[in-house]
Amino acid sequence: MFAMRLYRHLRVCLLLAASLFLASQPAWATKRVALVVGNSSYQNAPLLPNPANDAAAIAATLKGAGFDVVDSRLNLAATDMRRALREFADQARNADIALVYYAGHGIEIDGTNYLIPTDARLERDTDIYDEAFSLDRVLLAIEPARQLRVVIVDACRNNPFADSMKRTVASRSISRGLARVEPAVSNTLIAFAAKAGLTALDGNSKNSPYATALVKYIAKPGLDLRRAFGFVRDDVLQATGNRQEPYVYGSLGGEDVALVPAAKAEEPIQAANPQSEIRRDYELALQLRNKPALNAFLTQHPDGYYSNLAKLQLNQLEAEDARVAATAKAQQAEQQQARLMSQGAQRAEQEKAAADLKAAEEARIAAERTKQAAQEQATEAERKRTASESTIVAALSGNKPAVESTVADNPTAAAPGEYSKTPKLAALSDEPRQTDIARADIAKSVQGELSRVGCFAGPVDGQWNAASQRSLALFNRHAGTKLDVKLASLDALDAIKLRPSRVCPLICDRGYRPDGDQCSRITCAEGSFLNDDNECEKRRGKKPVAKRNTDERPSRADRPARERPEPTADVPRRQATVKNSGGGSGQIVCDQSLCRQVSRGCHLEYRGGGGPGGNVGNVESCR
């Protein structure tokens, strides 16, 4: 009992410590910086009343949206504007989102847009390169931002220097409004108050129609930036009678991009249910199945629904102990009777032993019946408990409000006297069977919920095996919970039901890729194959290799027998000489029939040909 209380207090302390630790950690938020410039008081051009008001309204909106840095500047001369851009570039280098808003005069020359400081004179068209700042210079200042870059140009007004500006080259173009621009860096948006080549209107109020719409939509939490500029366009068109249409250049990816993140939805806090703790303590004592554990539970929880269940379980254990003792006593009485009969004891002693054996046997039978009745009562009570918990599981599966137990509201439902009216015999294995059925129902529901949140891919069969335990451990890792994976409990079911969407990442087999909440087969194009990284890779062509063509050559066995070529006598046959044993010349001449010695006084003469076949060859000449 003391250990159980200590464990419960220790668990509460750990939870409190963890919550305090998490509360003390800084929130990892996106760093956002902004530069807001409003030029109204031009030294060499008429006063513009709205830019200063528009810049103040935009700066206040961004500050209210939680931007980390909002640098607001008014009426900047060339030197001040150059310094502001340089300083803001340092801010953007460490930021995730960088935004620049400019309101004032702007001009387009030869397709390039320029922002005009308040001290610009622009007496000739080439002065624009020295006295103004190109839009590319602004884009260069915000380029280091890591995630998103936004430039809002509210400068599409008539050029006040157009009439007095001298043209150094007659072909140089100076257009109305600003020119179309395409940002070279990804995740960059450039918003103009009016479409390229058109001018914007200042309106009749304190702020221009464009700035009024920006303040309304630009910092709306969770609103995608593209949709925000779309709403701005609609409002400006309506306010100006379709005479001014804002325009946005650049592109973003498929994800929603908002300047102000949506407010995090608070998870519903469920009221603590005191019956949950009592139920867990009872299930722990029931798993131990011994009298000390049940007595400890009854000491801590002497009253209530679960205490009645514990008493029934305790009565069953005590009845079993009584049955074992009565059986042992009956065996001793039987042995005593047999011993007296074998020793030939007196009749009175044998009769007494027989009476004792009969009483012991009756006591054993009574203890057996009591034990069976207590077992049936406990089994029936446990069956009703599991049935009520199955009702809870069904309610949770239908997304209905969860209740602890329908029987817990009626503590007298499991009173021991309810089952003592009509005792019935029950098999010893009934209670484990009922408990197994209840646990299978809970395990099946937990498996179904784990499958819904993407943590379980096996069959929902109620078998809480190693695969089910691994799936619950996977849920703990990705959901940050510490549920006991060895048991499919109602606590685990409650925790999983709180997750409205997928928790565990989708893992697909080889040859498949994640596609939403399912795996799709990967189909490689012709000439490609699926590599070890589960990606399609182009198949490389094999280089030709020179090799001996053995297909057309006959094998050695198939070759015909080599024919002996006929010898040809291309040169005179070497003359053979023999030792002169008579009167011959010592030379030999041969024909088709025989060889003989050349006669004395004659010699061999070569007439051409020679060899077998009747050729002439050498002939004997006697001239």
DSSP labels, 219-241: T-TT--HHHHHHHHHHHHHHHTT
Residue type at 211 in one-letter notation: A
Q: Which residue has the higher pLDDT, 509 or 268?
A: 509
H or E element at residue 370: helix 347-397
CB of 232 closer than 8 Å to CB of 213: yes
Tell how many helices (H) and how many strands (E) occur in the chain: 14, 18
- Give me Rg for the CA atoms of the chain: 53
For 346, counting Cβ atoms within 10 Å of its Cβ (0-12 exposed, 13-18 middle, 19+ buried), the class is exposed
Highest mean pLDDT among 57-71, 331-345, 396-410, 476-490: 57-71
**Global pTM?**
0.44
The whole-number average pLDDT for the span 552-577 is: 51
Mean pLDDT on 142-159: 88
* DSSP code string of 418-446: GGSSS-----TTHHHHHHHHHHHHHHHHH
CA pair distance 108, 499, nearest whole angstrom: 55
Say yes or no to pLDDT of 12 above 60. Answer: no
Mean pLDDT of 134-139: 92
d(CA 234, CA 342): 115
pLDDT bin (cut points 50, 70, 90) of residue 413 is very low
Query: What does the pLDDT look like over 242-295, one tens digit per residue?
Result: 888 999 998 888 888 888 888 776 555 544 556 677 888 878 777 777 888 888
Tokens of 424: 């019935």
Task: Copy the structure tokens of residue 94.
Answer: 């460490």
Burial class (CB in 10 A: 0-12, 13-18, 19+), 63: middle
- Indicate the pLDDT class of residue 423, thresholds 50, 70 and 90: very low
pLDDT at 24: 41
At 401 the pLDDT is 43
Residue 598 is predicted with a pLDDT of 80
Residue 612 confidence class, pLDDT cut points 50, 70, 90: low
| Torsions phi, psi for 166 (to 5 deg) | -85, 145
Q: How many CB atoms sit inside 10 A of residue 240's CB?
A: 17
pLDDT band at 554 (very low <50, low <70, confident <90, very high): low
Q: What mean pLDDT is predicted for residues 459-465?
A: 87
Amino acid residing at 282: Y
Label the pairing between strands 106-109 and 174-175. antiparallel
Cα 352 to Cα 334, 345, 360, 361, 561: the distances in Å are: 12, 11, 12, 14, 121
Nearest to 456 by CA among 514, 504, 392: 504
Q: What are the pLDDT digits (tens) for 151-166?
A: 999 987 777 777 777 7
Top-confidence residue, 15 or 306: 306
Closest CA to 69 of 49, 106, 96: 96
- Report the chain's mean pLDDT, rounded to a whole number: 77
Coil/strand/helix, residue 393:
helix
pLDDT per residue over 46-93, tens digit each? Answer: 888 889 999 999 999 999 999 999 999 999 999 999 999 999 999 999
Q: Write the pLDDT tens digit of every residue in 375-409.
A: 888 888 888 877 776 666 555 555 444 444 444 44
| Choice between 446 and 20, residue whose per-residue pLDDT is larger | 446
Write down the pLDDT at residue 435. Answer: 52
**Joined tokens for residue 59:** 């700066």
Of the pLDDT bands very low, low, confident and very high (cuts 50, 70, 90), residue 412 is: very low
